[in-house]
Amino acid sequence: MNFPSSVIYIIPILAVWSGFAFVWFTKPNHTDNIKLLLAFSGAFLLSLTFFELLPDVYEGHDPKKIALYILGGILLQVFLEFFSKGAEHGHMHVHLEENKFPTLLFLSLCIHALVEGVPIHENDSILYAIIIHKIPIAIILSIFLINSTLKFSTTLLFIGLFSLMTPLGSYFSTTPLLTDYGYLLTSISIGVFFHISTIILFESAQGHAFNLRKLVVIILGIGIAYLV
């Protein structure tokens, strides 16, 4: 299914705001079901990366060069997490100063969101993965921001600007300046996806205890990705 460009730009924005609206109206006290959705999203994103992005990006290009950029994407995400403290995969360990905009958290999340928007215009299936990844992250981020000492207007500004980043990444990747480097940018995105999704899966069982529900949703995520 080929989505029109307007849909590619609008849906990621709606995914973020739907996560925020869910938190604002339901005031969830427990995150167990959100963590299940997060585990599903990690398995789904990782599987689609293997099924869709990797074969395409290696086709007709130098394998070592592609691998180098994928590793660069992994290192980029490791670097970003020094500032985001793992918010991209559902962990919020950031201390916010009262009524002060969390600039480092915002910038790290925005760079991550820009990078994840790069491959969407070339692969509609990845749009599904990004949406399913964004919703639980937006929920967890919204819970954190709403319960913080930030003004509500600051929280809205944060969510609003953050929601625009993935569409901007998709748009920038289609500009004449970057079109010739699309496969390299996608390789960086693959590295980011690898890091994020594997961290989500490794952390899906607290204390490495066996959890049948999370195993089932992970298998379900892989299965659905295969059929997409």
Q: Which two tokens stand for residue 145?
A: 């921001």
Question: Cα separation of 186 and 174, whole Å?
Answer: 12
Whole-number mean pLDDT of the chain? 86
Q: Is the pLDDT of residue 207 over 70?
A: no
Pair 56, 123: CB distance under 8 Å: yes
Least confident segment among 21-25, 31-35, 145-149, 153-157: 31-35
Listed in sequence order, the residues at least 6 apart from 182 whose beta carbon sits closer than 8 Å to its beta carbon are 118, 122, 173
90-113: average pLDDT: 78
Q: Is the pLDDT of residue 123 over 70?
A: no
Q: Phi-psi region for residue 216, left (φ > 0), alpha (ψ -120 to 50) or beta?
A: alpha
Question: Cα separation of 220 and 227, whole Å?
Answer: 11
Q: Is the pLDDT of residue 56 over 80?
A: yes
Which of 47, 66, 39, 2 has the alpha carbon at shortest distance from 214? 39
Q: Which residue has the tokens 């938190």?
A: 23
What per-residue confidence (pLDDT) applies to 24?
92
196-200: average pLDDT: 89
What per-residue confidence (pLDDT) applies to 166?
94
Q: Which two tokens stand for residue 84?
A: 């985001």
If pLDDT is split at 50, 70 and 90, which confidence band does 162 have? very high
What per-residue confidence (pLDDT) applies to 192?
95
If pLDDT is split at 50, 70 and 90, which confidence band does 8 have? confident
Please tell me the pTM assigned to this model.
Answer: 0.88
What per-residue confidence (pLDDT) applies to 147?
84
What per-residue confidence (pLDDT) applies to 1?
55
If pLDDT is split at 50, 70 and 90, which confidence band does 211 have? confident
142-168: average pLDDT: 90
* pLDDT one-digit tens code per residue, 176-193: 877 788 889 999 999 999
